[in-house]
Structures are given as C-alpha cells and as structure tokens.
Amino acid sequence: MLDSIRYYLGLLTVATTPWAILYWYLIHPFVGLWRRVGPTVAYIALGTLGVVMAYATWAARDALMVTEYGTGPVLQALAAACYLGAITIEIRCRKYLSFRILVGLPELSPQPGASKLLTEGIYGKMRHPRYVGFMLGLLAASLFVNYLAMWVVAVATVPGVYGLTMLEERELRQRFGAAYTEYSQKVPRFIPRFG
C-alpha cells in the first residue's frame, strides 16, 4: 500500500510540477498579451498545455518511474518535518491570498492597479513565502517518494523557481513602482530575518 502511494504521489508530482513552473513562466513575461486576450483565453490555452504535459508524463510513466530508492523511518520523518514547514507557511500565506490571487488574476487583469502589494504578516518577513513553502513541499514529497524522477524534478525546480522569482519581481516593479522597490529593500526574498 505504501509503495503504491509513493509511486502515484511521485507520478502526480512529476506530471504537474514542470507545468506549474512553466505556467508562471508563460504568465509573467507575457502579461501584456494575456491582458489583451483576457483571462478565459489564457486559462484555456495554459490549461490545455497542462493537460498535454500530464498526458505525456502518464504515457511515459514506465520509463520515468523506473528507478526507486526505497523508504524508511528516517526519510519519512524528514519528509514529515518538511511537509509541516510547508503547510505552516501556506497557512500563513492564505490569510492574505484570495482565490483571484492564487490563480493569477491580478497579473491577467486589464487594470494593473486592481491589486495591492502584500507587505503584512509572513509577507513582512519574506517576499516569496509561497515559493519557499512550495520548495519545502517538493522536498518533502521527494524524501517520501524517493524515486529518481522526483529528485530530478526537485533539483531542476530550484533554478526554475529562482528564475521565476526574477520575472515576477520585474512584473511587480512595473505594477507597484517605488512601493515594491522600497519593500524589496526591507524584506528578504526567501530567508527571513529574525530579531
């Protein structure tokens, strides 16, 4: 039973993580295009791409999920600790994030000033807590699943998320101007300052 859970969790993560990163790479640099065509067209186009990528992963599952390294109590404990950290961060983020923000509507809105800069709570400690939580969750899944394909996706995601952060920050500077520049000078990107 545990092996089946590990396998399908790994397959689901390998199928969706690259698309999730690609989704935002296709949103941030092209906000002008998506604002012109509207959110419905953007979601249909990007959702179709996600379905195609998930199907391709499913079709290649035997080759992708061939190498697994087993599990044990130490890996499961480390995975649980990382997952707890990811959940804690996500709960703190959700206090400030509406559904509109989670699906990228501020980026797609024809009125760029339709949203406000988040600087409170966890966003007052680090600028990109959702990326930190995402990476902790991905590390938790990798430790729990312990398949080679998961580790490849996790390692490839690190520079992917960093590059995505740079694109997002450029777009936030355009949207919020001096307010975002001042915020970014006070609040660290990923690792919060304590004290």
Q: pTM of this prediction?
A: 0.86
d(CA 31, CA 172): 11
Asked if pLDDT for residue 119 goes beyond 70, the answer is: yes
Give residue 110's pLDDT. Answer: 60
Asked if pLDDT for residue 112 goes beyond 60, the answer is: no
Give residue 195's pLDDT. Answer: 59
The helix-helix angle for 148-176 and 178-186 (nearest 10°) equals 130
Cβ–Cβ under 8 Å, residues 99 and 136 = no
Query: Domains of the chain (ranges plus CATH)?
Result: 2-186 (1.20.120)
pLDDT category at 165 given cuts 50, 70, 90 is very high
d(CA 177, CA 88): 30
Q: Read off the pLDDT of residues 26-42 as tens digits, 9 standing for 90 and up.
A: 888 888 888 888 888 88
Give residue 11's pLDDT. Answer: 94
| Secondary element (H or E) of residue 115 | none
Cβ–Cβ under 8 Å, residues 119 and 95 = no
Q: Which two tokens stand for residue 169?
A: 């920050």
Tell me the average pLDDT across 93-103.
80
> How many Cβ atoms are within 10 Å of 160's Cβ, its own excluded?
18
Radius of gyration of the chain (CA): 18
pLDDT category at 69 given cuts 50, 70, 90 is very high
